[in-house]
Structure 1
Amino acid sequence: MTALLCSREKLLGPSEGWSLAPIAEWLLTEGQRAHSAEALVAGLTERLLILGLPLDRLRVSVETLHPQLIAWSVSWFKETGTSLFLAPHSIGLRPDFKGSPIEHIRAGGAEIRYRPALGLLEHNQPNFFDDLVQEQISDYIALPMVFSNGTRNFVSFGSRAAEGFSDADLAKLRALVLFLTPLFETLELRFLSKTLLETYVGPRTADKVLAGSIKRGDSEVIQAAIWYSDLRNFTGLTESLPAAKLIELLNEYCEHVAAAASPRGGEILQFIGDAILIVFAADGENSLRIAANNAVDAAIDAFNGLAVVNHRRQRRQEPPIRFGVGLHVGTVTHGNIGSPSRLAFNVVGGAVNRAARLEAQTKDFDTPLLFSSDLAALLSQPSRKLGDVPMRGLAGLHTVHTLEPPIEI
């Protein structure tokens, strides 16, 4: 019996004061179905307050694997509720992060306690506690939350109550971390799955994969405006630039195009060497017209921004970025294509071929942007027919258009 009581106390904390048992039950039932970290923290803090814990702030910070982020964190304050913060990789350079409790715990440090009334300042960076002083926090504890892969994450609790946290409160908060750890690890795995998929296949395709479209041959027929762009003189750049400079140029080109296309609903589906394939999907009665105009507006923004980009490159004595864009609208099949063990989402159809052939014609017409008659008919701004030309692999002659006035770069 004594061993059983000791085991229960280790799991749920001492019996005096509020009980951790209903919190543990909620976390193992409703809490594990929380759709987000914010929802989990909101539900948790609501129940802790009802039980009588003198809580005024809570923060959870979880490391992640992301090209732009090092971590995500959820903060809760009694007056304002929950908020999500996405921490960039550069946060490690900030003065307020250096030596902070989060850095301390992630580096392998033990828990940190702040209780000025008792002379407890268990940390080597007093500046951190300035925020707690401004918030009138009288008691604070930061605890490690260790995931199954060894990643050390962070959870902290703060109180404004004059008496702060009792010894029983602290024991229960330490025990609470045991219940929170697997739930936040699950939420991180969900976040990781979604962000990595969005990074490598785009948000629309990521949603399809997460919804279950993972079998070879899963596909849908969509209406879309198709963008195909290609760098000028890429072969020459490959021969003349060091590998690091070539990758830097490609990244700057891709970032520049993405910044113009993504806000207008363009999803980069593929980087094909120096070419970019973007889909502006249409999902409603009038949205093909919207998609077509969004694609052209994205091209205008991309080319207008080139002046700034290339001016900066010229100052660094680097070759300018030049590229052409071909645009077309039509029906394509968006589907899962590949071998049984190596799949990729792609779009196939005549509209994709037309966009690529139009881009190839930009060199012959010495203009950065060409589009088809089908797309020109949907535009809200003037365009000009440049001629009827043959296109490789396509029967007959095909009319090509550009904007009026044309884009100059």
Structure 2
Amino acid sequence: MIRRPLVALSLLVGITIAYLAAARIVYDARGFFLLTVPVLSAFLASGLLSLGFDYWLERLEKLRTRRTLERYVSKNLVKEILENPNSFYSSLRGVRMPVTVLFSDIVGFTSMTEKADPEQLVKQLNEYLSSMTAAVFENNGTRDKFIGDAVMAVRGNVSSRGVAEDAKSAARTAVAMRRELKALNERWAKVGIAPFHFGLGINHGEAVAANIGSQEKAEPTVIGDAVNLASRLEALTRTYDVDVLIGATAGELIRDEFHLRSVARVQVKGNQRQWR
């Protein structure tokens, strides 16, 4: 819990004034002198030490929160959250909300791990993940997690500008990720490194945002059918020989900005409904 140094300072001043007033009342009524200078000096010294400690704790808590958030979102979004933290903290307790989820995964990465030099592959993967994260942050999304070589990003859980803008932000992220991957592949080709290719799925729907994990370690994330479908769409990119698939709900939200092509109506694993 973040302490409030200004509240503590106000309380300290209030008690000091009350003590001085009490000393004056006792003197006027009984003619007794209450020690003021030594008592107030000791009181103020202890109060200021406590105030300084509270201020240090608050700064430490804010720094810890900032560093945690910067793992998931851009610095601009961190500033926005810290200036208005109530919605973010409420989402950590578990709340259902509309979000747009993006999943990307490197095609054939498992087979690459069996053939490539481990050190070179790790370096290449880290370059790739750094570029993909930059694309997410560039469009004010949340980098939810890495799952091996896969990237999960979300828009709307930490900060939302409306469902349509959230979906468009995710689509812009996909375009940026495609651009970043093209640049990486061109650079790798010059030094004889095999290229990466990804599949990417985007879906919009309701999900539960919460801090998920054990008592020792938990992280903010989103869970639910909307998330699962985004992952299934990513996997289906191999089936339809495309690099990006977007669910129909997200597609309707972005249609005025992006040119879309209908691919198929499918029933994904673990879901009885047919999706397009």
Deviation at 1:212, TM superposition (A): 8.0
TM alignment of 1:10-409, pairs within 5 A? 189-190=60-61, 192-202=63-73, 203=78, 211=89, 218-281=93-156, 287-379=162-254, 380=256, 381-399=258-276
Give the Cα separation in 1 of the matches to 2:239 and 2:247.
16
CA–CA distance in structure 2, aligned partners of residues 277 and 331 of structure 1 = 16
Shift in CA distance, 354/211, structure 1 to aligned 2, threshold 3 Å: closer
Contact 2:91 2:209 in 1 (8 A): no
Please list every run of 5 or more consecutive structure 1 residues that lacks an aligned counterpart in the other structure: 1-28, 34-177, 400-409
Classify the secondary structure of the residue corresponding to 2:156.
Answer: strand
Question: In the superposition, relative to structure 1, how do residues 208 and 318 fare at CA in structure 2: closer, same or farther (>3 Å)?
Answer: farther
Higher mean C-alpha deviation, range 317-326 or range 188-197: 188-197
Does 1 or 2 have the higher relative contact order (CA < 8 Å, sep 6+)?
2
Contact 2:109-2:149 at 8 Å conserved across structures: yes
Higher mean displacement: 349-358 or 235-244: 235-244
In the other structure, the counterpart of 2:21 is none
TM-score by length of 1: 0.48
> Using a 3 Å threshold, how does the CA distance of structure 1 residues 315 and 397 change in structure 2: closer, same or farther?
same
Question: How big is the shift at 1:295?
Answer: 0.8
SS of 1:265's equivalent? coil
Identity between Structure 1 and Structure 2 (%): 25
Residues 292/189 of structure 1: CA separation in 2 closer, same or farther (3 Å cut):
same
Change (3 A) 1:209 1:221: closer
Residue 355 of structure 1 aligns to a residue whose secondary structure is: helix
Deviations 1:105-159 (A, max 9, x none): xxxxxxxxxxxxxxxxxxxxxxxxxxxxxxxxxxxxxxxxxxxxxxxxxxxxxxx
1:70 aligns with none
CA distance 1:356–1:243, shift in 2 (3 Å): same
Structure 2 counterpart of 1:321, which letter?
Answer: F
Partner deviation per Cα, 1:31-85 (whole Å, 9 max, x = no partner): x98xxxxxxxxxxxxxxxxxxxxxxxxxxxxxxxxxxxxxxxxxxxxxxxxxxxx
Give the drift of 1:199.
3.8
Moved over 3 A (4+): 181-188, 199-214
Alignment partners' CA distance in 1, 2:275 and 2:173: 24
For 1:205 and 1:222, the matched residues in 2 are separated by: 17
- What stretches of structure 2 of length at least 5 have no aligned partner? 10-48
Q: What is the CA–CA distance in structure 1 between the aligned matches of 2:88 and 2:170, rounded to whole Å? A: 27
Structure showing the higher strand proportion among its residues: 1
Distance 1:235 1:208, change over 3 A: farther
Let me know the Cα RMSD of the aligned residues: 3.3
The structure with the greater share of residues assigned to helix is 2
